[in-house]
Structure formats: C-alpha cells, structure tokens
C-alpha cells in the first residue's frame, strides 16, 4: 500500500467507522499529509510503500517540527502518527509500529483562563438589548457560561434542540454523543427573548440555515469564528479581557459550580467529559483560587508574606 493510500484509508475509517467529528478528521489528515510531504522530500522511496516508514524518518520529521512548533503541537502530531500506525498494524498493512519508539514531548499544562463571578456576570450582561444581535449575543453568552457548552456544540444547536418549558437542551458533543444539559432561569429568559426577535434575522435566501438557533445579521448559521468575535468583544467591554475565548467561559462555569458545592460527577455529566480525570482538573483550579484568596485575606498569610 502506498503512503497516500494508507492515509486515505485511515481518514475513511475515521469518517465512516469511528464517526469522528469533522475537526478531528481534519486534524489527523493535516498531520499525516505533513508527514507525507516530508517523506517526499527526504525519502521518496517511502511514498510507494508505507511499510518503509521507519523510526529514523519519523524522528527527522518531528525534529523539523520542533524547530517551529510548541511542544503541545508536536505531541499532538506524535499521537496522530502513533494512532495511524497502530491502525495499520491491526489491519496487517505493516508488521511493526515504529511510532511506538517515538518520545512524546513533555507538555506543561497551564491552568485554564478563568473569570471571577463578578467578571463573568459583567461579560454576560454586556450586550445591549435594543438590537436583535444584542439579544442574540446575550442568549449565547448565557449558554456558554450557564451550561458550559463547547463552541462546536453551541454552533451546532438547532431550534428543535431546545425545550424551554423543561429548561433543557439536547446537545451533540464529541464523538457524536448526545446529552441533555439544564438551562438556568436567566438562560431560559434570554433564549425566550432571542426567539421573539430571531425572525428579524431569518433570510429567505438561506433556507438551509433556517433551523439554526443562532443566526448572523445576514441570516446565516453563526459559526465558531463569529462566536469567538462576540466573546472577545464582550470580554473587552465587560471585563477588560480582549483575549477572552469561548472555552474560558466553559472553564469558568465548571470552576464556579465546583466552588458552589457541585460534585465532580455532576460537572462531568454537564460538560460531557468521557473521563472523570478530565473533570478533576477543575479541582486543581479551584484549589489555586482558594490559595490566592487565602494569601490575600488571611492575617497569618499576610504576616508571612511581609517577612
């Protein structure tokens, strides 16, 4: 099997059998195409036989990447190639998996961006209610912070996903897994107001987008780039944080729930995490917050700092 055929077959597997998201498929495809481009330059003979890909070629490729990419990006590419070659070995396309010999770069995982309760409130309440776009922005900010939705989940919402009477929404998460998330009273109120004015943005020229919950001023489905711009704009306006991104509101939602007494299992269910270990990260974030408050407020902590 040629290198290109092996990559194409794996991408088809991701799309049809794994039913991976379009972003996941695109990421794997980009990483493997990058390897193919390097192989064409360094070892053209590999192009005709994927079994000729060895650890020396892989190390050379990663060595080049390490000159320009952050360790986290290189680690992702190592994981992509390893997954691909393990799949080829299971299919008996190759006999060994040289990617197993690759060392994964150490990635220092920083704490996620967080807002205080007051700052989050200011961001969510920043949109003006006198335009359809402002009403829309208030509703989507309430959803991001109030229900901890991922950006892709928010953009994928259709009208029939909402049940405002039951105060819940059906969300399609990672791996096409559906879950139901609760909607707070303020979120239900904001969504109700948005649905009252949403018709002003519906365009007869965009019938395919008529089902989308959130629309642009031209009647198109609101996509991730547009949501990022919205969050950045109100982050700057409401909290002086022009670098605010949608995922930060998801992190903030989880941390504020933990601080408010929610257990990790409940937060895991809300966020749609497959593993509790992912959710446990917020326990560390909350402890960092607690220590900062302690150092700033406790007299013994202040006395120690002055020494």
Domain ranges for the chain, please list them. Answer: 3-101, 117-273
Q: Considering 174, 193, 245, 281, which one is annotated as catalytic? A: 174
* pLDDT surpasses 50 at 144: yes
Give the pLDDT confidence of 17-56 residue by residue, as tens digits: 887 777 788 889 999 999 999 999 888 888 898 999 999 9
Q: Considering 76, 77, 82, 150, which one is annotated as catalytic? A: 150
* pLDDT surpasses 90 at 268: no
Both tokens of residue 175? 């791996």
Give the pLDDT confidence of 103-112 residue by residue, as tens digits: 887 766 555 6
Tell me the average pLDDT across 231-249: 89
Q: Are 170 and 272 in contact (CB under 8 A)?
A: no
* pLDDT surpasses 50 at 307: no
Tell me the average pLDDT across 240-257: 87
pLDDT at 195: 97
Q: Considering 273, 292, 294, 304, which one is annotated as catalytic? A: 273
Lowest mean pLDDT across 103-117, 158-172, 234-248: 103-117
Both tokens of residue 114? 């967080």
Cα–Cα distance measured from residue 99 to residue 101, given in angstroms and rounded to the nearest whole number: 5
- Nearest of 167, 150, 160 to residue 231 by alpha carbon: 150
pLDDT bracket for residue 10 (50, 70, 90): very high
Backbone φ and ψ for 279, nearest 5 degrees, come out as: -70, -30
> Is 298 an annotated catalytic residue?
no
> Is 18 an annotated catalytic residue?
no
Q: Considering 76, 136, 250, 256, which one is annotated as catalytic? A: 250
* Bridge-based pairing state of the strands 168-172 and 178-182: antiparallel
Tell me the average pLDDT across 95-100: 91
Q: Considering 28, 145, 234, 282, which one is annotated as catalytic? A: 282
Cα–Cα distance measured from residue 145 to residue 254, given in angstroms and rounded to the nearest whole number: 9
Please tell me which residue, 263 or 131, carries the higher pLDDT value: 131
Cα R_g (the chain), whole angstroms:
23
> Is 256 an annotated catalytic residue?
no
* pLDDT surpasses 70 at 117: yes
Cα–Cα distance measured from residue 203 to residue 195, given in angstroms and rounded to the nearest whole number: 15
* pLDDT surpasses 90 at 275: no
Name residue 180's beta-bridge partners: 170
Mean of pLDDT over the chain: 86
Cα–Cα distance measured from residue 75 to residue 71, given in angstroms and rounded to the nearest whole number: 6
Fold classified for 117-273: hpI Integrase; Chain A (1.10.443)
Give the architecture-level CATH label for domain 3-101: Orthogonal Bundle (1.10)
pLDDT at 82: 93
What's the CA dihedral at 254, 258, 264, 268 to 10 degrees?
Answer: -10
Report in angstroms the alpha-carbon separations of 296 from 96, 114, 152, 292.
56, 18, 38, 6
> Is 284 an annotated catalytic residue?
no
Cα–Cα distance measured from residue 75 to residue 104, given in angstroms and rounded to the nearest whole number: 5
As separate numbers, helices (DSSP H) first and strands (DSSP E) second, the chain gives 14, 3
Give the pLDDT confidence of 279-306 residue by residue, as tens digits: 666 666 666 665 665 676 666 665 554 4
């Amino acid at each position: 099997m040629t290198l290109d055929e092996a990559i194409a077959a794996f991408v088809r597997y991701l799309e049809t059998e794994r039913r991976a998201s379009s972003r996941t498929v695109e990421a794997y495809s980009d990483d493997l195409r990058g390897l193919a481009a390097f192989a064409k330059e360094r070892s053209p003979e590999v192009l005709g036989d994927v079994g000729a890909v060895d650890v020396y070629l892989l190390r050379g490729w990663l060595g080049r990447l390490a000159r320009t990419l952050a360790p986290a990006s290189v680690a992702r590419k190592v994981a992509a190639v390893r997954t691909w070659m393990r799949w080829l070995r299971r299919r008996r396309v190759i006999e060994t998996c040289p990617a197993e010999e690759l060392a994964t770069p150490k990635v220092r995982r920083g704490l996620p961006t967080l807002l205080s309760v007051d700052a989050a409130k200011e961001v969510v309440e920043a949109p003006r209610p006198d335009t359809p776009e402002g009403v829309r922005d208030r509703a989507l900010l309430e959803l991001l912070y109030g229900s901890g939705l991922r950006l892709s989940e928010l953009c994928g919402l259709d009208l029939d996903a909402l049940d405002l009477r039951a105060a819940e929404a059906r969300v399609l998460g990672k791996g096409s897994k559906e879950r139901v998330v609760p909607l707070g009273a303020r979120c239900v109120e904001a969504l109700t107001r948005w649905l009252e004015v949403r018709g002003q943005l519906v365009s007869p020229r965009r019938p395919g987008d008529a089902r989308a919950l959130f629309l642009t001023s031209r009647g198109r489905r609101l996509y991730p780039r547009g949501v990022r711009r919205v969050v950045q704009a109100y982050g700057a306006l409401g909290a002086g944080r022009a670098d605010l991104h949608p995922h930060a509101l998801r992190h903030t939602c989880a941390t504020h729930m933990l601080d408010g007494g929610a257990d990790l299992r409940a937060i895991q269910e809300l966020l749609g995490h497959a593993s509790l270990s992912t959710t446990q990260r917020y326990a560390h974030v909350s402890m960092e917050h607690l220590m900062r408050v302690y150092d700033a407020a406790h007299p013994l902590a202040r006395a120690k700092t002055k020494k």
